[in-house]
Amino acid sequence: MRYALIAVVLAATCALAWITSPTTLAALAVVAPIVLITVVAVLAARPLGDEDAAPGNRRVA
């Protein structure tokens, strides 16, 4: 799911690059990497599931 979201953002950025003026493209060249890094950082910080139930992570009472 996270890679699909990143791919959609990247595809949208590329599509905008084809239809925008050079000034807008220059602004996107600055903003787009920041947005992509933010998306990746937010998704990477989220837990993938119940980490306590992961195999090999058994607690001994």
DSSP state of 52: G
Distance (Å, whole) CA 50 – CA 53: 6
Confirm whether pTM is higher than 0.85.
Answer: no
pLDDT by residue, tens only, the chain of 61 residues:
678 888 888 888 788 777 877 887 788 788 888 988 988 888 777 666 666 666 666 666 5
**pLDDT score recorded for residue 52:** 65
HSE at residue 51, side-chain half, CA atoms within 13 A, is 3
**pLDDT score recorded for residue 59:** 64
**pLDDT score recorded for residue 49:** 65
Q: Which of 27, 35, 30 is nearest to 10 (CA)?
A: 35
Q: Where are the alpha helices (DSSP H) in 1-61?
A: 2-19, 22-45
| Residue where the block lists tokens 């009472």 | 61
